[in-house]
């Protein structure tokens, strides 16, 4: 509908619509968060947390509706999985751009719980959204360099402890726990610097994933493997708002986590750590191959 406008004006209109929608939903979300803070831990607080997630999910659904109405994006969403709003799922996905979050909102909609993901500690200062993420029990991660850990060994494992506490916070709630195993957005420069053995992916970071899996335990309904493909190339959020993202392919596969992967100490058991890393490497190799196939299909028009 807005495609007749010049790209910058198109982008400005979309951004205004998204900001207005965010402010609209932020008011009841903040009120629920205040109520949550004043409520002792227990069943009532868990129900309030579900209420906050319900509001956040409707914010996300409205965002995706705005994009579907006002933008010309071809969505090719393939979900070969059984998901329900009341379940608990662990999602592993490749990561190329901030648009991935929006793409996942569109792919899952209301058929699954509202997602939770690990974010950098600095993002708590993002206007409006930072406090909302905190109220949704998103884990804020502070990453330490090797040099910082060498100077202060007590910092080692802090991020994994944050993972444990976060999973404990929403163990009694429906959740779609999102994990970008690469730990950062894919770029060719990062790929080359890593010497990644994959064509379309960076090396996966298995540690945080292992601790999330261990903390959530076998009450998980399933592991959802999500592959996101941009046939025209990944673009930034501003380019997306300007209408320069034309097509997205999302494929969701439901995987069964091997029982033995729940049983082990990733940090202190070298044998278990090796098995877990081998399992993740196999999963990542399959994903890399599948992304290549999806790109080839998109280019051939299949």
State the SS3 of 88-138: EEEEEECCCCCHHHHHHHHHHCCCCCCEEECEEHHHHHCCCHHHHHHHCCC
* CA–CA distance, 302 with 295 (Å, rounded to integer): 10
Average pLDDT, the chain: 87
* CA–CA distance, 290 with 296 (Å, rounded to integer): 10
Tokens linked to 257 = 């986590």
Give every CB contact of residue 6 below 8 A, 6+ residues apart in sequence: none
Q: What is the pLDDT of residue 268?
A: 82
* CA–CA distance, 234 with 208 (Å, rounded to integer): 26
Tell me if residue 157 falls in helix, strand or coil.
Answer: coil
Q: What is the DSSP letter of 180?
A: E
| pLDDT, tens digit (0-9, with 9 covering 90-100), for 220-260 | 778 999 999 999 999 999 999 999 999 999 999 999 888 88
Is there a contact between 32 and 55 (Cβ–Cβ < 8 Å)?
Answer: yes
Tokens linked to 209 = 């994933």
Q: Over 60: is that where the pLDDT of 302 sits? A: no
Minimum mean pLDDT range among 115-124, 131-140, 154-163, 170-179: 154-163
Q: What is the pLDDT of residue 93?
A: 94
Q: What is the pLDDT of residue 289?
A: 96
Tokens linked to 271 = 């044998």
Thinking of the domain 73-300, which architecture would CATH place it in? Answer: 3-Layer(aba) Sandwich (3.40)
* CA–CA distance, 5 with 301 (Å, rounded to integer): 28
* CA–CA distance, 216 with 89 (Å, rounded to integer): 9
* CA–CA distance, 114 with 171 (Å, rounded to integer): 14
Q: What percentage of residues in the chain have a pLDDT greater than 90?
A: 47
| pLDDT, tens digit (0-9, with 9 covering 90-100), for 260-284 | 888 888 878 899 999 999 999 999 9
Please compute the mean of the pLDDT values over residues 183-189 and round it to a whole number. 91
| pLDDT, tens digit (0-9, with 9 covering 90-100), for 2-35 | 667 788 898 999 999 999 999 999 999 999 999 9
Minimum mean pLDDT range among 6-10, 43-47, 112-116, 205-209: 205-209
Q: What percentage of residues in the chain have a pLDDT greater than 70?
A: 90
Please compute the mean of the pLDDT values over residues 124-151 and round it to a whole number. 77
pTM: 0.88
Q: What is the pLDDT of residue 38?
A: 92
Please compute the mean of the pLDDT values over residues 177-204 and round it to a whole number. 92
Q: What is the pLDDT of residue 1?
A: 58
Q: Over 70: is that where the pLDDT of 133 sits? A: yes
Residue that has been written with the tokens 């601790």 in this structure: 211
């Amino acid at each position: 509908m807005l495609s007749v406008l010049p790209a910058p004006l198109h982008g400005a209109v979309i951004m205004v619509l998204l900001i207005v929608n965010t402010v609209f939903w932020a008011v009841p979300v903040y009120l629920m968060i205040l109520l949550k803070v004043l409520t002792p831990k227990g069943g009532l607080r868990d129900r309030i947390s579900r209420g906050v997630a319900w509001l956040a999910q409707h914010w996300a659904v409205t965002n995706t509706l705005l994009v579907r109405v006002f933008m010309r994006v071809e969505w090719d969403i393939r979900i070969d999985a059984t998901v329900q709003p009341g379940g608990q799922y662990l999602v592993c996905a490749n990561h190329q751009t901030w648009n991935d979050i929006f793409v996942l909102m569109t792919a899952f909609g209301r058929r699954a719980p509202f997602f939770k993901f690990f974010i950098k500690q600095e993002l708590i200062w993002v206007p409006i959204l930072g406090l909302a993420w905190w109220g949704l029990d998103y884990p804020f991660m502070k990453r330490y360099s090797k040099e910082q850990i060498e100077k202060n060994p007590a910092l080692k494992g802090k991020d994994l402890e944050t993972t444990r506490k976060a999973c404990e916070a929403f163990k009694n709630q429906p959740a779609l726990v999102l994990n970008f195993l690469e730990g950062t957005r894919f770029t060719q420069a990062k790929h080359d610097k890593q010497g990644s053995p994959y064509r379309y992916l960076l090396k996966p970071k298995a540690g945080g994933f292992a601790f999330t899996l261990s903390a959530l335990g076998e009450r998980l309904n399933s592991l959802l493997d999500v592959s996101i493909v941009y046939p025209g190339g990944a673009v930034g959020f501003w380019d997306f708002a300007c209408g320069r993202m034309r097509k997205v392919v999302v494929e969701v596969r439901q995987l069964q986590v091997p029982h033995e992967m729940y049983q082990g100490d990733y940090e202190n058991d070298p044998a278990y750590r090796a098995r877990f890393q081998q399992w993740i490497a196999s999963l990542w190799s399959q994903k890399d191959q599948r992304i290549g196939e999806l790109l080839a299909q998109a280019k051939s028009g299949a």
